[in-house]
Structure 1
Amino acid sequence: MGNLLRVLNDKGGSVPKVNLFVDFEKAQPTDAEKAVYEKVAAVLERAPRIIDELGGYTGAGEQIREAISKPSNEDTQEKAWNAVRPLVLQLKTYYEFCTELETALTSILSVLCSADMTAMSHLEMHQALTKQLAEILDFSLKFDDLKMNNPSIQNDFSYYRRTMSRKRLESNDQPRTTGAASNSVEGEVDMRDDVANRMSLFYAHPTPLLNALSATTKRFVEMHSELPLENTTDCLSMVACVCRVMTENPNYYTRFENEETIYFCLRVMVGVIILYDHVHPVGAFAKNAPIDIHKSVKVLKDHSQKTDGLLNALRFNTKHFNDEQTPKATKTLLSS
């Protein structure tokens, strides 16, 4: 493959020694990838706009505080409600986009984890889909970081739900006129209760999208019982190793046209380690895991000016970091 250099695949230990260049900047789909690639691309093309919007999300905190402090003032109540409703519709759009990403991830895993070739061969033959997997993980880390650092998101949605419940109760208490709508507040309902419930659970999680993608990956494994678990975990661990090697080795990272691609690789490495840790029964921190956590942490610390959040993600968003079986040296390394 012109865009990929496969130098060595020597599994001398539990961690595969892999030198592999995947062109995350320019990889194009082969004919075999095109059907899945185009469906996923139609979803991912909206990702930059959503990150920009979420980054500029200011919320309705001022109006909500005013309404809470003056509960009998109808004007302040109406101002808060009118401020919150369009914001909640934005949050609904982001939630729906994230559910589309879950579907996209499943489509990609169906190809990259299929039994017809090894994980290494899949990355070699399906670079464009590997790039899209990386883009989903990159988006998820950016999305979750913006959400986690913006309490207005949960505050706005909580206020919306409380106000909607109150309006329904008030409407039910009012006498009904013959021929009138059974519930006058229904004209203000922006979503069904089941959607609101799912959104509430989604946004309540500190890192909602990574949590959702982890659950999606586990469901993929459960639904494809004909595939050995190793098909999925080998794919994830191989992507993690490739991302690490490409940021360690100047023969590879000097081939990037954009320096930001290095940080893209680091975000993807962390995202895929988190997925692996949630899917594998023992996790990514076990001594015999096929991911070199120590080298992964080292490369993050080598770029510490932009990776503090990624180190925290490994500590707080993984499933097995605090297990007794996690080596003490690993815990010390990540905590220092």
Structure 2
Amino acid sequence: MKRTCFVCATMGNLIKVLSRDIDNNAGNFFLDFENAEASWSEKEVWEKVNEVLKEARVILDELQAYAGAGEDIRLAIQSPSEEGVQERAWSAVLPLVAKLKRFYEFSHKLEVSLRCLLDIFTSPEAPPTQQLENKQALARQFALILHFTLRFDELKMTIPAIQNDFSYYRRTISRMRINNLCGDADTEVNNELANRMSLFYASATPMLKTLSDATIKFVSDNPEIPVENTTDCLSTMAGVCKVMLETPEYRSRFTSDETLLFCLRVMVGVIILYDHVHPAGAFVKTSNIDMKGCIRVLREQPASSVEGLLDALRYTTKHLNDEATPKHIRNMLSNN
């Protein structure tokens, strides 16, 4: 079934959002998630990010189809002296490790794309909310990156074969190295790269961690840019998604569950990034994100659809358990 860049084709035309700008003046502005086209000023960055998003679609398809080499590995472990069994397991694991390597390397491309977009949305030329409004094609790409990130991590958490396959690969490589049998296999993923990949896949949400770290690094690498420029951009995106989800007029235009999940993933993604970047986090009363409203929107969905997103808020945010977090917010995110 054909996807539409994992974003809904029916998000409505211009979505009206009430948002506070950096001068704290209430104002109306619009984000067009459906029909926004890149202007000449956006075109260069848009094309670069679009190439990454094209690859992202392929990555998701490959991850969703990832079957693992569990049976071959099991037989190899049970019959360590049978050379044919060992060769079959090794032959099954090698292409999978190559795929895992590609996923890992793609995370760096995603990081570069995120930083490119943050460069634009935090530019001193205009407030972040105005940048989002004026560069809606890039705002849409920002949302697509977040959607991919949450979707990748959701899928990864359901595929234990990933870490099992890679662990088997590393054990086998170590044994081959000891016996001087490495040959060309060792050049696929050398020891240094294997260590980095192990850390990456050890995270429950590796792509989200990559983006969180990248956003933090963006802020620290650009001290001349007020941190509010970044957090205002993120809180605005959270507000856009929340309004789309809680307003019947907009929800009625959604024609599929994937449309709904797109908005939910983007909303959760920007909340997590905001919580990692803002000194006080996303959960305090003074936060520019309506956390109560965002969690309520999540809770209104079928539990099977959003449990992974709720877990992302529970376990990958930084400030949820701070004393400053209101008790009712923690209660809303409890597992009860």
User: TM-score, normalising length from structure 1?
Assistant: 0.89
CA displacement, residues 302-336 of structure 1 (integer Å, 9 cap, x when unaligned): 22352222122111121111222211111111114
- Note the C-alpha offset of 1:143: 0.5
Q: Which amino acid aligns with 2:104?
A: Y
- Contact 2:17/2:239 (<8 A) preserved: no
Verify: 1:321 aligned to 2:320, yes or no.
yes
Q: State whether residues 241 and 267 of structure 2, in contact with CA within 8 Å, keep that contact through their aligned partners in structure 1.
A: yes
Aligned to 1:301: 299
Q: The residue matched to 1:242 in structure 2 has which SS?
A: helix
Amino acid across the alignment from 1:41: N
Partner of 2:126: 117
**Does the alignment pair 1:276 with 2:267?**
no
> Within 1, Cα distance between the matches of 2:99 and 2:209?
20
Aligned partner of 1:186: which letter?
A: G
The change in CA–CA distance for 1:317 and 1:42 in structure 2 (over 3 A counts) is same
The question of whether the paired residues in 2 share the 8 Å contact of 1:3 and 1:23 is answered with yes
The one of 245, 248, 251 equivalent to 1:247 is: 245
- Report what 1:199 is aligned to: 197
Counterpart for residue 95 of structure 1: 104
Q: Aligned partner of 1:114: which letter?
A: S
Give the match's secondary structure for 1:33: helix
Shift in CA distance, 60/290, structure 1 to aligned 2, threshold 3 Å: same
How far apart are the structure 1 equivalents of 2:211 and 2:65?
24
Structure ID, larger Rg: 1
In structure 1, what is the Cα distance between the partners aligned to 2:75 and 2:320? 43
Question: Equivalent residue for 2:330?
Answer: 331
The alpha-carbon distance between structure 1 residues 22 and 7, as it changes in their structure 2 partners (threshold 3 A), is: closer
In structure 1, the residue matched to 2:208 is 210
Distance 2:179 2:107 in 1: 34
Task: Give 1:63-74 correspondences, 5 Å limit.
Answer: 63-74=72-83
In the alignment, does 2:37 pair up with 1:28? yes
Deviations 1:193-251 (A, max 9, x none): 22222111111111000001000001111111110111111111111111111212234
CA contact (8 A) 1:43 1:100 kept: yes
**Pairwise mapping of residues 1-336 of structure 1 onto structure 2 (< 5 A)?**
4=14, 8-9=18-19, 20-171=29-180, 185-189=182-186, 190-255=188-253, 260-304=258-302, 306-335=305-334, 336=336
* Structure 1 residue 258 displacement after superposition: 5.6
**2:19–2:239 Cα contact (<8 Å) kept:** no
Q: Which residue of 2 aligns with 1:177?
A: none
Cα drift, residue 23 of structure 1: 2.0
**Long gaps (5+) in structure 1:** 172-183
Q: What is the letter of the counterpart of residue 51 of structure 1? A: L
**Aligned 8 A contact 2:76 2:86 in 1:** yes
Render the CA deviation track for 1:127-168: whole Å, top value 9, x for unaligned: 111111111110011101111111100110111011111101
SS of residue paired to 1:57:
coil
Q: Compared with structure 1, are the counterparts of its residues 72 and 105 closer, same or farther at alpha carbon in structure 2 (3 Å cutoff)?
A: same
RMSD across aligned C-alpha pairs, in angstroms? 2.2
**Residues paired across the two proteins, number:** 321
Query: C-alpha distance in 1, partners of 2:68/2:234?
Result: 36
Distance in 2, matches of 1:47 and 1:268, equals 15
| CA separation of 1:195 and 1:4: change in aligned 2, threshold 3 A | same
Q: 1 CA distance for matches of 2:118 and 2:251?
A: 26
- The answer on whether the counterparts of 1:4 and 1:23 sit within 8 Å (CA) in structure 2 is yes
Residue 116 of structure 1: CA displacement?
1.2
For the Cα contact (< 8 Å) 2:235–2:289, is it kept in 1? yes
Residue 257 of structure 1 and its aligned partner are, at CA, apart by 6.3
CA contact (8 A) 2:17 2:243 kept: no
- Structure 1 Cα separation of the partners of residues 155 and 77 of structure 2: 26
Contact 2:70 2:161 in 1 (8 A): yes
Deviations 1:89-148 (A, max 9, x none): 011111111211111111111001111111210111011111111111100111011111
Moved over 6 A (4+): none
Distance 1:69 1:185 in 2: 22
Please report how far the alpha carbon of residue 261 of structure 1 lies from its aligned counterpart in structure 2 after TM superposition: 2.5
Aligned AA (1:282) = A
Aligned counterparts of 1:188 and 1:5: Cα–Cα separation in 2: 52
**CA distance in 2 between partners of 1:134 and 1:272 (Å):** 9
Q: Distance in 2 between matches of 1:17 and 1:309?
A: 33
User: Does the aligned pair in 1 maintain the 2:19–2:236 contact within 8 Å?
Assistant: no
- How far 1:286 moved relative to its partner? 1.0
Amino acid aligned to 2:308: G
